[in-house]
Amino acid sequence: MIFVGKRTEYLKAELENLKAQGLYFVERVRVGPPDNRVVIKGVEYILMCSNNYLGLANHPKIREAAIRAIEEYGVGAGAVRPISGTTDLHIEAEEKIAKFKRREAAILFQSGYVANVGTIQALVRDEDAVLSEELNHGSIIDGIRLTKAKRLIYKHLDMEDLEAKLKETKDARKRFIMTDGVFSMDGDIAPLDKIADLADEYDAIVYVDDAHGEGVLGDHGRGIVDHFKLHDRIDIEMGTLSKAFGVIGGYIASSKEVVEYLKQRARPHLLSSALNPPDVAAIIAAIDLLSSTDEPLKKLWSNARYFQKSLVDRGFNIGNTKTPITPVMIGDEKKTQQLVEMLFNDYHIFVQAVVYPWVPRGTARIRFQPNATHSIEDLNYVIDSLTEAAKKIGVLT
């Protein structure tokens, strides 16, 4: 017998309301790895909305490392890190991440989301001030919400506004400037060189979320700090292992003191079980691969450049992207959902509408993510199909 939740029935009306506003997400259930093609209910689709930038999520060497680790370690870590969850694999991965990011030390977390929330909560005190970029990822925002520090939001990419807010907070114990490196819904990048100048002038700590920069920007995909060559001027790099690295997990790469402190005080490190050994082995293999070759990185960028230029030539607005993230701006939530449905049903292209709360209301878009697994034929098919579908529903003339 299934019990009906009488006291929670009120949520029905709220769900209907989300549907009426075009804000209701449909999760497509796929089988198989996130390569260029995926199968949903027995039908093949071109996948254009995965963060698997370099195709590492299904790379033979990385799969093999994970399988080997299952044979040696089993599937679960068995505990939180300080109890008994730390394996030699966790330590090796942290050392490799630190070396790859050209930092003194690194600490793994269970996801990028958890890395942001856990780190910000641990480092920021009531008497501090956080200066947070307007378009920061929700996990930074959630981390800040867990603190009682003074919070100021500076306008997107606006260094004058950041400076004004630094002046406003001169009495804080410490000031933290927190920013995404690459903005995940727009693909534009933070002016880290200018942020570093302001941080030097006002003695602020800089915290950068490199989720969409690593594996994409910098030498061999070392990320946005490497792209700007600012290793000695940016204090804390947060990253995720779920996107270009193709696995799962998050990390902080920084000074020895920051990492040692987080191992003592970050609540997800102390209160949530460690990453599973096969995931950690896969992370190590992904870093080894990226360190030894930049072929997938070159393919990613040549695909992204081709795709973006073609869309602009067809008359689409792709905003101010500087990375492979390709937002096709539509504006209206319902039209965006309609276009996504048409691409899915009529053209077998799998993309997602990006609507509120991911982006402000009225700025809905479709985020296309060309990656290293796509062929030119895949991209041409998507470009032609999108053009045809957008004309049909009147969002392209």
Ligand X SMILES: Cc1ncc(COP(=O)(O)O)c(C=O)c1O
Rounded-to-integer distance, Cα 304 and Cα 319, Å = 14
Among 223, 250, 268, 324, binds ligand X (CB under 6 A): 250
**Smaller CB separation from ligand X, 33 or 138:** 138
Which of left, alpha, beta for 394 (phi over 0: left; psi -120 to 50: alpha)? Answer: left
**Smaller CB separation from ligand X, 223 or 378:** 223
Instruction: Give SS3 for 346.
Output: helix
Structure tokens at 385: 């199909």
Q: What is the DSSP string of 258-291?
A: HHHHHHHH-HHHHHSBPPPHHHHHHHHHHHHHHH
Q: Which residue is catalytic, options 132, 139, 184, 254?
A: 184
**Smaller CB separation from ligand X, 86 or 240:** 240
Whether residue 220 lies in the annotated active site:
no
Among 111, 119, 147, 369, binds ligand X (CB under 6 A): 111
Q: What is the DSSP string of 304-324?
A: HHHHHHHHHHTT---TT--SS
Whether residue 184 lies in the annotated active site:
yes
Question: Is there binding between residue 237 and ligand X (CB under 6 A)?
Answer: no
Residues whose CB is less than 8 angstroms from the CB of residue 360 and which lie 6 or more positions away in sequence, other chains included: none
**Smaller CB separation from ligand X, 242 or 337:** 242
Contact between 299 and 263 under an 8 Å Cβ cutoff? The reply is no
Question: Is there binding between residue 184 and ligand X (CB under 6 A)?
Answer: yes
Q: How far is the CB of 181 from ligand X (least distance, A)?
A: 8
Rounded-to-integer distance, Cα 323 and Cα 301, Å = 8
Question: Is there binding between residue 180 and ligand X (CB under 6 A)?
Answer: yes
Residue 310, class by beta-carbon neighbours within 10 Å (0-12 exposed, 13-18 middle, 19+ buried)?
middle
Among 112, 118, 143, 277, binds ligand X (CB under 6 A): 112
**Smaller CB separation from ligand X, 242 or 303:** 242
Question: Is there binding between residue 139 and ligand X (CB under 6 A)?
Answer: yes
Structure tokens at 201: 């002038």
Rounded-to-integer distance, Cα 278 and Cα 71, Å = 9
Near ligand X by CB under 6 A, which window of 70-78, 88-96, 111-119, 165-173? 111-119
Question: Is there binding between residue 240 and ligand X (CB under 6 A)?
Answer: yes
Near ligand X by CB under 6 A, which window of 206-214, 286-294, 295-303, 327-335? 206-214
Q: Which residue is catalytic, options 96, 212, 269, 374?
A: 212
**Smaller CB separation from ligand X, 117 or 389:** 117
Q: By rule CB under 6 A, what count of residues binds ligand X?
A: 14
Q: Which residue is nearest to ligand X (CB)?
A: 112
Near ligand X by CB under 6 A, which window of 5-13, 16-24, 110-118, 352-360? 110-118
Question: Is there binding between residue 278 and ligand X (CB under 6 A)?
Answer: no
Question: Is there binding between residue 333 and ligand X (CB under 6 A)?
Answer: no
Residues whose CB is less than 8 angstroms from the CB of residue 96 and which lie 6 or more positions away in sequence, other chains included: 284, 287, 288
Near ligand X by CB under 6 A, which window of 9-17, 107-115, 142-150, 373-381? 107-115
Whether residue 243 lies in the annotated active site:
yes
Structure tokens at 158: 């606006």
Question: Is there binding between residue 323 and ligand X (CB under 6 A)?
Answer: no
Q: Which residue is catalytic, options 96, 101, 165, 243?
A: 243
The residue type found at 63 is R
**Smaller CB separation from ligand X, 212 or 222:** 212
Beta-strand (E) ranges in the chain?
Answer: 30-31, 37-40, 43-47, 105-109, 129-133, 150-154, 175-180, 205-209, 236-240, 250-254, 326-331, 349-350, 353-354, 364-368
Among 57, 189, 211, 266, binds ligand X (CB under 6 A): 211
Q: Which of residues 341-370 bind ligand X (CB under 6 A)?
A: none
Rounded-to-integer distance, Cα 242 and Cα 238, Å = 13
Near ligand X by CB under 6 A, which window of 30-38, 74-82, 105-113, 161-169? 105-113
- Whether residue 278 is preceded by a cis peptide bond, meaning omega within 30 degrees of 0, is no
CA–CA distance from 354 to each of 102, 129, 138, 195 (Å)? 34, 31, 14, 28
* Residues tagged active-site: 184, 212, 243
Instruction: Give the binding site for ligand X (CB under 6 A).
Output: 111-113, 116, 137, 139, 180, 184, 209, 211-212, 240, 242, 250
